[in-house]
Structure 1
Amino acid sequence: MELTSGLLLAIMVIAALTSIQFYKGRKLNLQLMEFYLKKIEEIVKPEDKDYVWLGGYIGFRANYKINRDNVRRFEYTLTLLPRHSLLYFPIALLTSRHDKLYIVVRPFAQIKREAHLIQKGYYRLKPKIENEPLLQREEVEIAGKKYEALFEKRRDLDKLKSLLESLPKSHNVKHVALTPKTNVFYVLMKPEPETIEESVRKIVEFTNREIKESPFSS
């Protein structure tokens, strides 16, 4: 196949753009990882920590030993859009849609009942909820967004709603849950630099105040 001057020029332009996007995207993702790590650590103040690099520039997993107040462990996984890949980035915007922060808080108190708030239409494949047939189901609206509520007791649902309403951008929370089988408080959210500090602080405060003293654990 003979390369025309136009085709050759197009290949050179794409190569140049790919290279520029790689360095710019890699720098931004590394800056985001460093920023989120620093802000979260400032809030939870771990006594011990462990990290797992997820490969490339897409994020990491952190495991913090806290052993303070009602928080035994604080774990999170940060996954970022592949901003360094010119070709894959548009696809990721369609499939992943945004950066994701998966938070798992392991309290000392025992969570006795299950409750979920799941933003309507977020999951393409609905997550498996083991006790779903036994849970009450209701649709609620929080700050203009509709959520599917699954719960055993309404007071648990009210507590989760209050948490979301207290966050700077409640619509960034896609799924929040209390699961007694694994005894974890789980939050899936879209992280943003301007709100990450307040959001994580509210999550920790909720664990210390509501899970420890509320009907969640009694």
Structure 2
Amino acid sequence: MTENSIWFFLLLLGSVVMVVSYQWGSRRNIRLMREVSRLLEHALRPSDKEYTLLGGVAGFRAEYRRRPFTKIILLLSLLPRQSLLYMPVAWLRRGSDTLEMLFYLEGGVPAEAHIIRRFALKHWMPEIKNPSELQTRQLKREGMEFNILSSGNRKLEGLLMRLLSLLGPENTIHISLTPENNVLYVKLRMVPSRTGSLERAIKKALRRIERGLNLNGR
């Protein structure tokens, strides 16, 4: 076999691998989007819903209407499994698939509080706008380390810690309450093998949110 033939064979093989990986990755992400949208609808029971796809198979943005919240915004961001070349870069930047949930509350949030997962790679950690204005302490749950940043409201800290337990420390990246926009924010690592348990966890967390913030009476 000549050198040109070898290079042609390698080029052909590489093209086949890229096509197969694209098809497999696209199907995998589509399946994940369907599974996650189904579990979210089962868990949150929206009265109205609207979905927008992100980049075809990169995830979706959804807006749910559900009382007693003014709205719930959901953002699913998936690793680019369809792109064999970009996948390692995306993993280094984000580390995993993620699900973000923003619950817009009808009543006011009295103070600010965050629970943030500590990662070995600091760029995986969320950034806070005003960390110097908040009290900071450390928390360890199930071998995972977290930072608690709070304006000192122990009731809100207790609510966030309860949500951390319900959602699972291994899944949680960031939970926060922010008064400037009256939002309870949750960011989770999406592990495909745990979607069933995640639905149950979100249902329990939702009940705790409503009870903890007395939303049902507003």
Give your verdict on TM over 0.5: yes
Give yes or no for contact 2:64–2:73 (8 Å, CA) kept in 1: yes
| Counterpart for residue 100 of structure 2 | 102
Give yes or no for contact 1:136–1:151 (8 Å, CA) kept in 2: yes
| Counterpart for residue 201 of structure 1 | 203
Q: Tell me, what secondary structure is at the counterpart of 1:29?
A: helix
Amino acid at match of 2:213: I
Residue 187 of structure 2 is aligned to residue 188 of structure 1: yes
Give yes or no for contact 2:21–2:84 (8 Å, CA) kept in 1: yes
Give yes or no for contact 1:25–1:85 (8 Å, CA) kept in 2: yes
The one-character-per-residue Cα deviations of 1:49-105 (angstroms, maximum 9, x if unpaired) are: 122211131011000111x2x323111100101111111112222222110111101
Q: TM-score, normalised by structure 1?
A: 0.88
| Cα distance between partner residues in 1 of 2:107 and 2:142 | 30
- Count how many residue pairs are aligned between Structure 1 and Structure 2: 209
Amino acid at match of 2:69: V
Where do 5+ consecutive residues of structure 1 fail to align?
214-218
Where do 5+ consecutive residues of structure 2 fail to align?
none
Give yes or no for contact 1:99–1:191 (8 Å, CA) kept in 2: yes
Q: Tell me, what secondary structure is at the counterpart of 1:171?
A: coil
Cα–Cα, structure 1 residues 133 and 59, in superposed 2: closer, same or farther, change >3 Å?
Answer: same
Aligned-CA RMSD value: 1.9
Query: Pick from 200, 210, 213: which aligns with 1:211?
Result: 213
Give yes or no for contact 1:36–1:196 (8 Å, CA) kept in 2: no
Displacement after TM superposition at 1:109 (Å): 2.2
The one-character-per-residue Cα deviations of 1:102-154 (angstroms, maximum 9, x if unpaired) are: 11011222211110011112641764534432211101112211111111223
Give yes or no for contact 1:175–1:187 (8 Å, CA) kept in 2: yes
| Cα distance between partner residues in 2 of 1:125 and 1:92 | 11
| Counterpart for residue 216 of structure 1 | none
| Cα distance between partner residues in 2 of 1:146 and 1:79 | 23
Aligned sequence identity (%): 29
| Cα distance between partner residues in 2 of 1:90 and 1:137 | 33
Q: TM-score, normalised by structure 2?
A: 0.88
Amino acid at match of 1:65: R
Q: Tell me, what secondary structure is at the counterpart of 1:4?
A: helix
Q: Tell me, what secondary structure is at the counterpart of 2:82?
A: coil
| Counterpart for residue 143 of structure 2 | 144
| Counterpart for residue 70 of structure 2 | 72
Give yes or no for contact 2:117–2:125 (8 Å, CA) kept in 1: no
Runs of 4+ off more than 4 Å: 125-128
Amino acid at match of 2:40: I
Amino acid at match of 2:55: G
Give yes or no for contact 1:140–1:149 (8 Å, CA) kept in 2: yes
Displacement after TM superposition at 1:10 (Å): 0.8
| Cα distance between partner residues in 2 of 1:4 and 1:205 | 66
| Cα distance between partner residues in 1 of 2:11 and 2:70 | 54
Amino acid at match of 1:93: W
Q: Tell me, what secondary structure is at the counterpart of 1:189?
A: strand
Cα–Cα, structure 1 residues 125 and 43, in superposed 2: closer, same or farther, change >3 Å?
Answer: closer
